[in-house]
Structure 1
């Protein structure tokens, strides 16, 4: 039996001068909601490259979200197995 699932992540970016913030929000099929933030700040000597700041802030938000999902999965495994779980990327 093959199952196809789609999870959607909403990503919001805010830029203010040299700083960019990203918020990644995920709603799981069981209605659990998770949110993570990322941030980047351009050094004053660096050229303006808006996309680079957006990429860094987004990567950091998604990395945080990935770690939250790993912790959640570990907790769920431990609840069922009653043994320590150490999932990793």
Structure 2
């Protein structure tokens, strides 16, 4: 059995009430998948930077998951197309 370990890098950037997050996954095969997320504090809410970080990070990870699912669907479709037997009548 071969074990694999994939790591996700998460980068957060704060600018005032705005927080941006970028999530990046690079697989063992060199496939790169990225996701982005943003959060903006409502001016009427108390300033709790951790909440903005969490929200932006969760959105970036959710986007990363969607992008990975899209990559998987494309890979499945291309493997089905290339492995389908050719019919020559």
Same fold, judged at TM 0.5 (above)? yes
1:77 match:
76
Runs of 4+ deviating beyond 3 Å? none
Matching residue of 1:19:
18
Instruction: Tell me the residue number matched to 2:40.
Output: 41
SS of residue paired to 2:75: helix
The one-character-per-residue Cα deviations of 1:3-48 (angstroms, maximum 9, x if unpaired) are: 3211011111011111100011111111121221110000000001
**What is the RMSD of the two structures over their aligned residues, measured on CA atoms?**
1.1
Give the number of equivalent residue pairs. Answer: 81
**Aligned partners of 2:79, 2:30: CA distance in 1, in Å?**
20
Structure 2 unaligned residues grouped into runs of 5+ = 82-89
The range that moved more, 15-24 or 27-36, is: 27-36
TM-score, structure 1 normalization: 0.84
TM-score normalised by the chain length of structure 2: 0.84
Structure 2 SS opposite 1:4? coil
- Show the counterpart of 1:56: 55
- Which of these two proteins has the greater Rg computed from alpha carbons? 2
